[in-house]
Structure 1
């Protein structure tokens, strides 16, 4: 055979074709496998329904229902069918059923049926209660119900506790379950304890001691002691037992029963009629405090320790306060409680756990806050009560300081020691708070309480009226001196990386001085001499502090000006001046305020000072309102003061106020002269307004004539036009027409829109007013058909020349538009 291609080339070709055949065969086999799988694949499984109740849940429900039904059956048997059986039958039935119910859980637990064992054990425990009831009905019929309940609850609690522990001894470890759960069960292997017996035993143990105390007819003290002893036992169990269900029941019992015992002990202590009974109840509160503090010492969580120690401290103070209430006069009860609360601060230096220490300090702070709250109504009465003297000034001098503040109010009972309470708390704050963070705020509160204490002393001690005012005045002086003496922070003492630290003491002292001085001024209204002395001294004192500490000027200067105003009014009233004459003297205050504000123009003090001056000016206006000539003078002088203020670059707008005051002064003067012509009132406004308009147009040629001249022209021409419309004489219309013509011509001459429009309108209306009588005569002389005919002809003429009139109107509008 002859090989056309060389053998090597032919071999290569054959290998290539075979490789292609193999590749094609692999593709066909893969396609065949996919088709086979598609044809013989199993259909998709239907969606699984969601189980609404899991197997354990169903199991528990069934077991609980079964236990309930069995318990109901046992109760029905004991109450209904009990009397149909003999003694032997009764004992046999109850004993057999109870022993069986309590014994069945053991084999159930060994076989891993814990839930079923719990249910049967619950049935057994319920049967023991029925056994106790049955024994009382058959064997112990003569025993009292309360006493037997106490003994039965104690026995049942012990039996149930022993039963719960005994089950753990009989079934020491959790039995192995299915193979898949062996590893989990082995990891949790240990003694088996049922969930019900021990918590139920602890719950039943709450009853024996209180029931026993009630059974022996013990007094309230013994019953309360039994309740607190039960709470103590609960606390011990909660702290020592590690089983969670038992700890929860013990904690709930300790808080619930303990709260009941504390409330009963507190009521007994604070309602006791003698020191002995109060001391016995206080001992119960001390027991409650011991329980709370012990629990706080061993509490696992800091928050729990803080809360229980705070409660323990309050229990101690409440017990001591109850004894003091029964032993001392009524006004010393609150100071005694305060002393006990302050004594709690001694724990700061004791070696105690930090949460316990903070809780006792919190109790002390709470007691002090309550004491201050008790004294606050007294402070409010002393500060606010004197306001009633405003309506009865100088009517009569009160007999003493207490009468000066209780003109229409009642003095609180047992409040003589209120100043002492405030002073003690102020001292504690000043000495105890040494931290840099709270130091400033604590000192501010201490200063407030100290000032309140000193201000309340005269009324609390019923000092004479003059002595009380002197003491309160010394308090005001001391506070102002303190405000001025507190040093300002130096720049080198401040941290450059933070905001400047400012002490709240100067501001606090200043506010206290303002409030107390105002109250003192109201108290002084009972006497003329006292009023003049107090108001005058306040004026000088606040002015001196403002000169001493300029940084306090924004408070002191307005106060000084206010008291100066009051002093002037008091001087005028004392001298018998008329109010309008006093108003002239009051103007000294706005003048002084304007001078001081100009002196400190860029200072924050300027605005309060100017507001005070404005208020004094309004007072002067009010005092002079009954005398028009004097009112005009006061308004004019006020305008002068406002004009002087407007000279300052930052107070240019006050010029409008000055102008308004001048105009009002002129109007009031004209009214006092019985001038009725409106031009007398409008021309003084028009002339300055037009002058200002001319000056503005010269400064800003682009300003509109309406802005420059419109207000001034309108103020005069419009009121005169209204007056001329009803004026039967010819002089006013003639003068008004001449003035309107002049204004119109000036507007046309200088191409000004506002004078041209206003003057032309007024001139036209004046002309119509003058021609109106003649037009009316002509109309009355014509036949009735003539006016409608003339109106129709006019409409035809207007319609005929409509286009021309529109063109003329556009020309007029364009001409007016070129005006400015």
Structure 2
């Protein structure tokens, strides 16, 4: 009959056979690679030229320079040297020749340098022609200087420089147009054209407005050249110059507009800004997409600054921000005008920039309102503050009066973003080609509306100077509204509106809670309402999470699965917030009853007791564990409150052990809660004995240890897989550890001897029965007890030994351990495996 091996034996046979097959396959692959290398002839490679001896330390030699590159280097160096010589000749002198003679020589050389490029171009030498043209350009500047010194030495230098710059710009333009194969003259003409108007304004002693006009007129000329100029180099140079001069002129106009104290004074810079906007739009109309967007942005900002500067003149700066904001909003009307799409996008970016700047200007009062509530931590229950909510926030009334425009700005922007969020479909139909809309922008608009609306309403009580009670009530209502919006948004599983509202609600909760610490009644009222709000939000989000999970297929994926996970995670936030509110209320109850901190610790334990019950009720929801952990934090706080009084600390630890035991009833929490309960009970017993001044703890611990060990033996008899720590750990530790502490303080020999004998018996029993808890606990106590007994003698021996002997012995020990390092590692592994096999 056929023999069929058991499954385990057959699996081992298969594994061995597969290993042999893998080894044989590796051998065959190696042999195949060798055969391929033998059959394939090596590819012939050209021999590398021998490197010079000095090239090795510096890497491979560089590639040889081509003839055109060498030519350019030589021509550049030659032109540079000739230019330096010409400058030295003109400014320093040459021999005994005067400035007139030098001017004549320079003129002849300049004419020759200007004529030579035409001949060189006809002979096919463009690089040489370019070098001589550059030299001729420098010589023309030096000719202008010499002309001033010889012909009109009495003329004003700034005025003459303006005329010279204009003449040179015209001459270079004509020269570049005649010899259109030269690349340098026309860009030089553009650069020279930047100076005449500025130098004339400087020579005339003009004011800031005249300088602004000079800059903008120059920018207009640059814009025209950038649009209709000849050649890429000319257009690029003109574009850079246009941006430089235009932005400088606009900055001058903006400074005048902002500093104007009357509408009449703001008209001139306003006109200047509008002209700048017109120049920007004109250039953007024909520019590439990126520059067109930038031009539209600059045009929009100039229009807002011009109109807003006239409207806000003479008004306090705080109320100037809403004026500029209104102008920025009106700017969006221009988006529907017939214009290129990039220009319209630039106008939208301009409006957005104005809005963002207005929001940033209104943000500091929000931070002051939130951070001011933190000051109440130093004045808990000091009574209703004087000066209403402004006094509670720690700022004077004039300071808040100057910030009165902040909530207006924030609420207006929030309303606009809310309108965009609600009317997104209509905006897509109206301005879709310009705005390039998407769902992400709609979500951002909704989230921004929620955040800014909350910020505006947060700072409103302080700016209005409300009373303390009214301000606290308003903050509570705002928190409740934020959580209502959060629950509604998260239940619909839409964009970031719900999460933004949740974050705002949490920040508002902290602010309102700290603000309520000024008065006892306010603390109870605020945190009770917050407890209800958090609890209601957690219940509604939990229901939404359950409904969403039921609606999703068994193997969820995609957006639906992410929404379910988001709801399950977010539900834990208000649930944990409710627990924190309960902690504050519990501490407040203890303070109201006049209890000291250690006396109020048992009151704090009401919170973890409730979370244990809630955890059993919510065991199937993801929020159960966060709620229980937050309750455990309350237990830690209670322990910290009672740490100054040992009897109360023992009581608190025992009560925490009871709560941990109740948690350990649930199978999913038993591995952690069971050990925690055992540890807490043992610590409570030890502290109670220590607090009572007991000198013989065995009289109290042995009655606990004996039945505990009996119960553990029964558990091991019924369940052989049960751990020895679960069965015997608590019972043994209950007696051994207090006895060890007492033995260390006992001057007599009877207790340490009895403890050592008991520990030895337990250790041998653990080794014989292969029980890890008995072996480790007994061994540790035996070692510490022996160390206590031998310590005096060790001290005497060490004191009698020479000082050099302990370091020498330590060195020998290290050498021995190092020499047998691998053997020691194997011994450690065997010891670890042996302990691991014990129960």
TM-score of the two chains, using structure 2 as the length reference: 0.73
* Corresponding position of 1:534: 526
1:568 aligns with 2:586: yes
1:665 aligns with 2:684: yes
- Paired with 2:440 and 2:786, the residues of 1 have a C-alpha distance of 84
Alpha-carbon contact 2:605-2:634 (below 8 Å) kept? yes
Which one of 652, 656, 660 corresponds to residue 642 of structure 1?
660
Shift of 1:70: 5.5
Please give the residue correspondences for 1:492-507 in structure 2 after superposition, counting only pairs within 5 Å. 502-507=494-499
- Would you say the 8 A contact 1:747–1:755 is kept in 2? yes
| Structure of greater Rg | 1
1:554-588 deviations in whole A, cap 9, x for unaligned?
23332223222322322332343444553333332
SS in 2 for 1:143: coil
| Structure 1 residues 98 and 753, CA gap change in structure 2 (3 angstroms) | closer
- Mapping 1:314-353, distance limit 5 Å: 314-323=301-310, 326-353=313-340
Mapped to 2, the partners of 1:432 and 1:371 lie a distance apart of: 18
| Matching residue within 461, 485, 488 for 1:482 | 485
**What do residues 316-336 of structure 1 show as CA deviations (whole Å, max 9, x unaligned)?**
334445445543112112222
Structure 1 residue 158: deviation in Å?
A: 1.4
Partner of 1:519: 511
Residue deviations 1:441-473 (CA, integer Å, cap 9, x gap): 321221111111111101122222222122212
Residue number in structure 1 paired with 2:10: none
* Alpha-carbon shift at residue 150 of structure 1 (Å): 1.1
- Residue 606 (structure 1) aligns with: 624
**Match of residue 162, structure 2, among 150, 153, 164:** 150
* Residue 621 (str. 1) matches residue 639 (str. 2): yes
User: In structure 1, the residue corresponding to 2:439 is in which secondary structure?
Assistant: coil
| C-alpha distance 154-82 of structure 1, shift in aligned 2 (>3 A) | farther
Where does residue 204 of structure 1 map in the other structure?
Answer: 192
Aligned to 2:608, what secondary structure does the other structure show? helix
Query: 1:684–1:334: structure 2 CA closer, same or farther, 3 Å change rule?
Result: farther
Unaligned runs of 5+ in 1: 1-45, 169-191, 490-500, 771-815
Residues 388 and 408, structure 1, Cα contact 8 Å, conserved in 2? no
What corresponds to 1:497 in structure 2?
none
CA contact (8 A) 1:275 1:323 kept: yes
The equivalent of 1:290 in structure 2 is 278
Matched length: 692
Which aligned pairs between 1:56-455 and structure 2 lie closer than 5 A? Answer: 56-60=68-72, 63-64=75-76, 67=79, 80=93, 96-165=108-177, 167-168=178-179, 192-299=180-287, 301-323=288-310, 326-398=313-385, 399-406=387-394, 414-433=402-421, 434=424, 435-455=438-458
Partner of 1:716: 735
CA drift at 1:277: 3.5
Q: Alpha carbons of 1:764 and 1:620: their partners in 2 closer, same or farther (altered >3 Å)?
A: closer
**Cα deviations across residues 8-36 of structure 1 (Å, max 9, x unaligned)?**
xxxxxxxxxxxxxxxxxxxxxxxxxxxxx
Aligned mates of 1:56, 1:314 — CA distance in 2: 49
> How many Å apart are 1:312 and its aligned residue?
2.7
Secondary structure of the structure 2 residue equivalent to 1:327: coil
SS in 2 for 1:112: coil
Report the CA distance shift for 1:270/1:664 in structure 2 as closer, same or farther (over 3 A).
same
Q: Deviations over 1:612-656 (max 9, x none)?
A: 221222333344445544444333333222222111121112122
Q: CA RMSD in A?
A: 4.3
Mean CA deviation greater in 449-458 or 582-591: 582-591
**8 A contact 2:103–2:147 mirrored in 1:** no
State the alpha-carbon separation in 2 of the partners of residues 231 and 761 from structure 1: 88
In structure 2, relative to structure 1, the CA distance for the partners of 1:447 and 1:322 (3 Å cut) is same
Please report the TM-score for the alignment, with normalisation by the length of structure 1.
0.74
**Equivalent-residue separation in structure 2 for 1:198 and 1:279 (angstroms):** 38
Q: Which moved more, 1:463-472 or 1:659-668?
A: 659-668
Distance of aligned partners of 1:466 and 1:136 in 2 relative to their CA distance in 1, 3 Å threshold:
same
- Give the alignment partner of residue 463 of structure 1, picking from 456, 462, 466: 466
Paired with 2:215 and 2:416, the residues of 1 have a C-alpha distance of: 37
Other structure's SS at 1:438 match: helix
Aligned equivalents of 1:541, 1:206: Cα separation in 2: 67
CA distance in 2, matches of 1:769, 1:631: 29
More displaced 10-residue stretch of structure 1: 329-338 or 68-77? 68-77
CA contact (8 A) 1:663 1:684 kept: no
For residues 307 and 763 of structure 1, what CA distance do their matches in structure 2 show?
82
Q: Greater CA deviation, 622-631 or 660-669?
A: 622-631
Deviations 1:495-530 (A, max 9, x none): xxxxxx654333332332222122111111112222
Distance 2:783 2:166 in 1: 115
Residue 409 to residue 639, structure 1, CA distance change in 2 (3 Å): farther
Q: Which residue, 689, 695, 716 being the options, matches 1:697?
A: 716
Contact 2:175–2:185 (CA under 8 A) maintained in structure 1: yes
